Amino acid sequence: MGTRGDVVVALSTPWGRAALAVVRLTGPGCEAVVSQIARPLSGAPWSYGRPRRVALFDADGVFDDGLLVLAKGPATVTGEDTAELGLHGNPRLVERLIAAALAAGARLAEPGEFTRRGLLHGKLDLVAAEAVGQLIDATSDDGVRLARAALDGALTADLTALREGLIDAAAELEARLDWPDDELALQGDAAVVAGLQALADRARALAATYRAGRVWVHGARVALVGAVNAGKSSLFNALLGTTRAIVHPTPGTTRDVVEATTRFGDLSVTLLDTAGERVTDDPIEAAGLALARELIADADLLLVVVRARSAVADLVPAVSGGDLAAPLTHDAVEAELLARTATNPRLIVCNGVDRDGVVVPDGVLPTSALRGEGIEALKRAIASALIGGVAADGRAIASLRQRDLLNTVAEQAEDAIAALPIAGPAAAAEAVMDALEAIDAITGATTREDVLDAVFKRFCIGK
């Protein structure tokens, strides 16, 4: 997608019947297009910056009346002349207005094109542009605060501070290259290394906030996994506060993945009740198990549900080398599952602690779906595990692109540290320049066209 300097048009309000709809246009020649689809209801001509009631028309005549606001570039969000037309929210009327605009010389806007034009005209940087999309998508109040802080420049300020630190390091290293005998260096190697390490740590710490930021903005996916009859479905229903999954003592009752969305405090959480794990010859149940394992890889958090037991010792039977020659028993299935998910973000939950003589090992969360015991504590533990103590104060990110580039900044700064005593200031300076390029890619200062295409294709058409 590229901005070709023409007039584009799009619906900016959700599609469907409503009291009002808003159609936006932007680009050079915007007023000429508008003059072919709208005319003032009073005799006076319209003027920029003042709303005017207008009649909306096409080749077949007037079909609605509405409100027009014209704004003159560059003092607009896109940096170009813009127009917003409010009309009655009937999809047929919206279709006629957009068709009339197309007939008058406009073209349909592509996803995010209004925001992209603002970026290209210097109205915002790429950090703020991504924050616009996050503000629209936010599923929580903290997600709104995070996006709003980025729009207000909090994240850009952090990135600017990182950039300035890298520039200082680059200048120090370049001085040693250009004037090696003039003693223009202001810092010793130890100070340069300490400064670069501090910058790497700050970049990596900011990158580490991505998981929490993404959860605030987009919500989380939490999968319940466990052996058959571990109590996953009853726990799933208890967390939802309603019966959504069938609970029955017959093994293999849950064969498909049951999915439902709820809220734990401010967080939007999609729970997935997966098929109970066991050795099976049933092709349908096996397909459900295969699907469950695929979803585990994409889940933000796993709840590994283990059976309530009367002894701690048989919670995790030994699994030698990960290869079980004997048929998998219930305990062995649990042991294999615990070993397989050891590197995943997870909580281990013991459901059914209302039974007599149950012993809950350390680090395992006790619950009784039957009596509702431990459910609220589990919800709090889930929220804490997803957020990890990160505060939604603008010093967090919700963009995978930003996370990867921040990690690149940290890696390049550490490469410079490693290169300085071995390869000298030239190699170190080159690594610092690579780190600076990564910072500029985050803000959009040197971002390639294909990167912009990838960012803005996620936006809605009218934004």
Instruction: Tell me, yes or no, whether 457 lies in a domain.
Output: no
For residue range 392-402, list pLDDT tens digits in order: 665 789 999 99
Range(s) of the domain holding residue 118: 8-124
* pLDDT exceeds 70 at position 280: no
* CATH number for the domain that contains residue 328: 3.40.50.300
Same domain, 205 and 223: no
| Confidence check: pLDDT of 360 > 60 | yes
Flag whether pLDDT at 324 surpasses 50.
no
Residue 449 lies in a domain: no
**What distances in angstroms separate CA 317 from CA 50, 220, 225, 281, 365, one per listed residue?**
75, 31, 18, 24, 19
The pLDDT value recorded for residue 119 is: 83
Q: Is the pLDDT of residue 286 over 70?
A: no
Residue 400 has which token pair? 């995978």
pLDDT band at 160; cut points 50, 70, 90: very high
CA 262 to chain centroid, in Å, comes to 18
pLDDT the model gives residue 326: 33
**pLDDT computed for residue 7 by the predictor:** 95
Could you give the count of Cα atoms lying within 13 Å of 350 in the half-sphere of its Cβ?
A: 19
Same structural domain for residues 237 and 383? yes
Residue 329: strand, helix, or coil: coil
User: Is the whole model's pTM more than 0.85, yes or no?
Assistant: no
What sign does the CA torsion over 42, 44, 46, 50 have? Answer: negative
Integer Cα distance of 163 and 454 in angstroms: 24
Residue 244: strand pairing partners: none
In a domain, 454, yes or no: no
CB 462 within 8 A of CB 12: yes
Q: Which of 357, 387, 417 is the last residue of a domain?
A: 387
Q: What is the CATH number of the domain that holds 35?
A: 3.30.1360.120
Q: What's the pLDDT band for 415 if we cut at 50, 70, 90?
A: very high
Q: Tell me how far apart the alpha carbons of residues 83 and 47 are, in angstroms, rounded to a whole number.
A: 11
Residue predicted with more confidence, 119 or 414? 414
| Angle subtended at Cα 446 by Cα 441 and Cα 451, rounded to the nearest 5 degrees | 60
419 within some domain? yes
| Integer Cα distance of 110 and 127 in angstroms | 20
> pLDDT per residue over 187-239, tens digit each?
678 888 999 999 999 999 999 999 999 999 999 999 998 888 788 888 999 99
Q: Is the pLDDT of residue 318 over 70?
A: no
Look at residue 381 in the predicted model and tell me its pLDDT.
Answer: 94
Out of 102, 124, 146, pick the residue that ends a domain: 124
In which region does residue 313 sit, left (phi positive, over 0), alpha (psi from -120 to 50) or beta (all else)? alpha
419 vs 331 pLDDT, higher one:
419
Comparing 96-110, 145-159, 284-298, which segment has the lowest mean pLDDT? 284-298
User: Residue 158 falls within a domain, yes or no?
Assistant: yes
Q: Is residue 460 part of a domain?
A: no
Cβ(329)–Cβ(227) below 8 Å: no
Residues 26 and 120 in one domain: yes
416 pLDDT above the threshold of 70: yes
Clarify whether residues 277 and 359 are in a common domain.
Answer: yes
**Helix, strand, or coil here: 46?**
coil
Considering the domain architecture, whether residues 251 and 371 belong to the same structural domain is answered as yes
Contact 372, 238 (CB under 8 A): yes
Residues 6+ apart with CB under 8 A from 23: 9, 10, 11, 12, 84, 85, 87, 94, 97, 98, 101
Same domain for 275 and 417, yes or no, is no
CATH number at residue 200: 1.20.120.430
Contact 290, 280 (CB under 8 A): no
- Quick one: 56 and 175 in the same domain? no
- Examine the domain organization and report whether 120 and 132 are in the same domain: no
The pLDDT of residue 251: 46
Question: Between the ranges 128-142, 207-221, 382-396, where is the mean pLDDT highest?
Answer: 207-221
Same domain flag for 311 and 253: yes
Do residue 277 and residue 296 come from a single domain?
Answer: yes
User: Could you give the number of structural domains in the chain?
Assistant: 3
Q: What is the pLDDT of residue 313?
A: 40
Out of 124, 141, 170, a domain closes at 124
Q: 356: pLDDT confidence band, cut at 50, 70 and 90?
A: low
* Residue 459 confidence class, pLDDT cut points 50, 70, 90: low
C-alpha span between 207 and 250 (Å, rounded): 46
Asked whether residue 46 falls in the same domain as residue 161, the answer is no
| Each residue's pLDDT tens digit, 245-277 | 444 444 444 446 788 999 998 899 999 988 776
Task: Tell me what pLDDT residue 359 has.
Answer: 73
Helices (H), 139-209: 141-151, 154-178, 189-207
Question: In the structure, how many helices (H) and strands (E) does the chain have?
Answer: 15, 13
Do 114 and 18 lie in one domain? The reply is yes
Say what the pLDDT of residue 458 is.
56
- Per DSSP, helices labelled H in 271-315 are 283-298
What 3-state class would DSSP assign to 305? Answer: strand
